[in-house]
């Protein structure tokens, strides 16, 4: 058995034979042409055909993986209209009197080199795209079709790299998984793999020649690729695959279905994320939206304050990937256990009760405004809502609203577009619960942060392992606070959800439904089990018993 470690871009387990995919490398010869005008026309003809092919690929991809992921083929069409790219090819044919193939291949190499030398990760990725479209034209010019993966029996496709167009053309029934030596997790190929639900590893240092035709296992959960697995590995992996298939079946049964109880009550089940990388799991588990994006992780991963532009790109990518579904982004919740050295925070005796979250934002508005500008700008690209953490008073909300108005006025005067943004607050302090009736009149929604709410209600440090046995989120004080918050939200005509860990507690789902919680935002991996319980609950029948049991 040989074991390789790669980076997983999509979970799942696949067992089967390896099929090594080699690109049909286009051997491009340079020769002199005397009629350069005719050569340019030959190129233009091939380009037009490439555009037609891309339109077909786009239509196929929309059907199979949805509009957002298919967009790459629109980008490829746009690349073929890019004036710099076209000028370079035309100019080379005219001035150097060379054949179209040579001009396309050289331009492709030059552009790919330019893109890959850029600092911006998104632009780096474009190197693969420019090569992909150029190869398409080269294939047309040489009279052949662009190479595709063809396989009769279901196989694990192993390749040096796969272009988006190659990935989308895979016959899904014949592909068990794919493993590439190169590639990046943000590439469109990886995104397509996730959307198609195929276990996939990238950056796996496989020797292509030595694995072709061999039996293998891809563990998309750990990123491991086993070639010629021994008996024990095979047994473990078969069991893992069985469980995985069970989970997938559950997903299949729930996918696209609304979360409605037996007696017709609707509730939204969203996912919590801390990073753009978590989106794969969100899509995989069919969450209805993102209920909590902990934006402070963007700050924690950096050595210095993230710029407006850096943040904007991340928020926009999340909004676009979620394709119109709700994305609730929480503003910076730094402090306490989440420290970034460049904030230069002073030592505090009680950091959980200290200078943190909204308290930093309100006293250092330059940091807050940078984030708000990025968020509002990104709101033009999807369904973004904003929520503010650690609120204790109506006064804080009024101050926030004033800063938000300043930011919006600034964007308007700069003619920068932004969308309609719902604004809500986290209810995670007992103070916020007690004034929730007044707070509800100021905001569009509440999201209850039960992790901190439990900590502050029970006066128990959530970080202290010694106190684990006392940290009881089932405490009636906590549960009654949730009920009070939801009631006050509804009185003011706004919705209330839960985004703390308690939202995914299987013992409490029925109680939450009984007290009218409108949304549960949980870890992506727990979305399906929560949805399953909702579908099995009859709220009217079970309410009295639930309330008696817990409150």
Q: Residue from 116, 169, 186, 451 that binds ligand PEP (CB under 6 A)?
A: 451
- Binding residues for Mg ion, how many (CB under 5 A)? 3
Contact status, residue 86 vs residue 130, Cβ threshold 8 Å:
no
Please state the φ and ψ torsions of residue 266, each to the nearest 5 degrees: -100, 145
Distance CA(294)–CA(314), nearest Å, equals 12
Q: Name the one range near Mg ion by CB under 5 A: 140-148, 215-223, 236-244, 450-458.
A: 450-458
Binding partner at 294 among ligand PEP, Mg ion, none, C-beta below 5 to 8 Å by kind: ligand PEP
Please state the φ and ψ torsions of residue 146, each to the nearest 5 degrees: -65, 135
Q: Is 223 in the site for ligand PEP (CB under 6 A)?
A: no
The DSSP bridge pattern shows strands 13-21 and 215-219 to be antiparallel
Q: Of 101 and 333, which CB lies nearer to ligand PEP in the complex structure?
A: 333
Q: Residue from 288, 291, 335, 449 that binds ligand PEP (CB under 6 A)?
A: 449
Q: Of 12 and 288, which CB lies nearer to ligand PEP in the complex structure?
A: 288
* Window 276-315: residues binding ligand PEP (CB under 6 A): 292, 294
Q: Residue from 333, 461, 505, 519 that binds ligand PEP (CB under 6 A)?
A: 333
Q: Is 500 in the site for ligand PEP (CB under 6 A)?
A: yes
Q: Of 187 and 272, which CB lies nearer to Mg ion in the complex structure?
A: 272
Q: Using CB atoms, what's the residue nearest to Mg ion? A: 452
Contacts 24+ apart (CB under 8 A), 240-248: 240/13, 241/13, 241/14, 241/15, 244/11, 244/12, 244/13, 247/528, 248/12, 248/197
Q: Residue from 428, 461, 505, 519 that binds ligand PEP (CB under 6 A)?
A: 428
* Closest of 257, 271, 265 to residue 513, by C-alpha: 265
Bridge partners, 292 (sequence order): 272
Q: Is 499 in the site for ligand PEP (CB under 6 A)?
A: yes
* Window 416-435: residues binding Mg ion (CB under 5 A): 428
- Minimum CB separation of residue 463 from ligand PEP in Å reads 11
Contact status, residue 82 vs residue 47, Cβ threshold 8 Å:
no
Binding partner at 424 among Mg ion, ligand PEP, none, C-beta below 5 to 8 Å by kind: none
Q: Of 189 and 521, which CB lies nearer to Mg ion in the complex structure?
A: 521
Please state the φ and ψ torsions of residue 377, each to the nearest 5 degrees: -60, -45
Q: Is 519 in the site for ligand PEP (CB under 6 A)?
A: no
Contact status, residue 12 vs residue 199, Cβ threshold 8 Å:
yes
CA 149 from chain centre, in angstroms, equals: 27
Q: Is 450 in the site for ligand PEP (CB under 6 A)?
A: yes
Q: Name the one range near ligand PEP by CB under 6 A: 44-52, 89-97, 263-271, 443-451.
A: 443-451
User: How many other β-carbons are positioned within 10 Å of the β-carbon of residue 506?
Assistant: 11
Contact status, residue 65 vs residue 195, Cβ threshold 8 Å:
yes
- The residue to which tokens 């279905």 are assigned: 257
Distance CA(501)–CA(292), nearest Å, equals 11
Q: Of 288 and 449, which CB lies nearer to ligand PEP in the complex structure?
A: 449
Contact status, residue 440 vs residue 492, Cβ threshold 8 Å:
yes
Binding partner at 503 among ligand PEP, Mg ion, none, C-beta below 5 to 8 Å by kind: none
Q: Residue from 11, 199, 449, 524 that binds Mg ion (CB under 5 A)?
A: 449
Q: Is 527 in the site for ligand PEP (CB under 6 A)?
A: no
Binding partner at 524 among Mg ion, ligand PEP, none, C-beta below 5 to 8 Å by kind: none
- Minimum CB separation of residue 387 from ligand PEP in Å reads 10
Q: Name the one range near ligand PEP by CB under 6 A: 134-142, 159-167, 260-268, 447-455.
A: 447-455
Q: Is 452 in the site for Mg ion (CB under 5 A)?
A: yes
> Residues 433-447, buried b or exposed e (16+ Cβ, 10 A)?
bebbeebbebbbbbb
Could you list the beta-strand ranges (E) of 360-400: 383-388
Catalytic residues: 188, 499
Bridge partners, 422 (sequence order): 385
Q: Of 183 and 500, which CB lies nearer to ligand PEP in the complex structure?
A: 500
- What would the two tokens of residue 199 be? 């276990």
Which residues contribute to the site for ligand PEP (CB under 6 A)? Answer: 292, 294, 333, 428, 449-452, 499-500
């Amino acid at each position: 058995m040989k074991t390789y470690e790669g980076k997983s871009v999509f979970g799942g387990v696949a067992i089967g034979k390896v099929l090594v995919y080699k690109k049909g490398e286009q051997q491009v010869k340079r020769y002199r042409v005397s009629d350069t005008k005719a050569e340019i026309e030959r190129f233009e003809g091939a380009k037009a055909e490439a555009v037609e092919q891309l339109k077909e690929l786009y239509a196929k991809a929309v059907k199979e993986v949805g509009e957002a992921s298919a967009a790459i083929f629109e980008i490829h069409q746009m690349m073929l209209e890019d004036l710099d790219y076209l000028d370079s090819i035309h100019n080379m044919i005219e001035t150097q009197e060379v054949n179209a193939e040579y001009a396309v291949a050289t331009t492709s190499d030059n552009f790919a080199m330019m893109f890959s030398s850029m600092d911006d990760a998104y632009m780096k990725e474009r190197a693969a795209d420019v090569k992909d479209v150029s190869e398409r034209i080269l294939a047309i010019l040489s009279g052949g079709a662009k190479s595709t993966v063809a396989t009769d029996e279901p196989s694990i496709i192993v390749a040096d790299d796969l272009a988006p167009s190659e990935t989308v053309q895979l016959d899904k029934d014949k592909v068990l998984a794919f493993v590439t030596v190169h590639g990046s997790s943000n590439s469109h190929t990886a995104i397509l793999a996730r959307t198609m639900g195929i276990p996939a590893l990238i950056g796996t240092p496989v020797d292509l020649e030595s694995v072709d035709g061999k039996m293998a296992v891809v563990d998309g959960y750990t990123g491991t690729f086993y070639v010629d697995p021994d008996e024990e590995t095979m047994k473990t992996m078969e069991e893992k695959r069985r469980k995985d298939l069970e989970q997938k079946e559950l997903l299949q049964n729930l996918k696209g279905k609304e979360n409605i109880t037996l007696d017709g009550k609707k509730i939204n089940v969203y996912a919590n994320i801390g990073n753009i990388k978590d989106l794969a799991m969100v899509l995989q588990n069919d969450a209805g939206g993102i209920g909590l994006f902990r934006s402070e992780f963007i700050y924690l991963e950096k050595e210095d304050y993230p710029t407006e532009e850096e943040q904007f790109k991340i928020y926009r990518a999340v909004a676009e990937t979620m394709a119109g579904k709700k994305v609730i982004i929480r503003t910076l919740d730094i402090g306490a256990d989440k420290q970034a050295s460049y904030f230069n925070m002073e030592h505090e005796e009680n950091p959980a009760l200290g200078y943190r979250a909204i308290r930093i934002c309100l006293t250092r508005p330059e940091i807050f405004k940078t984030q708000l500008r990025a968020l509002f700008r990104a709101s033009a690209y999807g369904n973004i809502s904003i929520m503010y953490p650690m609120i204790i008073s109506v006064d804080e909300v009024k101050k926030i609203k004033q800063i938000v108005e300043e930011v919006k006025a600034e964007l308007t005067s700069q003619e920068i577009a932004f969308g309609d943004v719902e604004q809500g607050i986290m209810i995670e302090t007992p103070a916020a619960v007690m004034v929730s009736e007044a707070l509800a009149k100021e905001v569009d929604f509440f999201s209850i942060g039960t992790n901190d709410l439990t900590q502050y209600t029970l006066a128990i440090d959530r970080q202290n392992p010694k106190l684990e046995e006392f940290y009881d989120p089932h405490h009636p004080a906590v549960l009654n606070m949730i009920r009070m918050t939801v009631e006050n939200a509804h009185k003011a005509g706004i919705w209330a959800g839960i985004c703390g860990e308690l939202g995914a507690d299987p013992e409490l789902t029925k109680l939450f439904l009984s007290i009218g919680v409108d949304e549960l935002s949980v870890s992506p991996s727990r979305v399906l089990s929560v949805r399953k319980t909702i579908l099995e609950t009859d709220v009217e029948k079970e309410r009295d018993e639930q309330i008696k049991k817990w409150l």
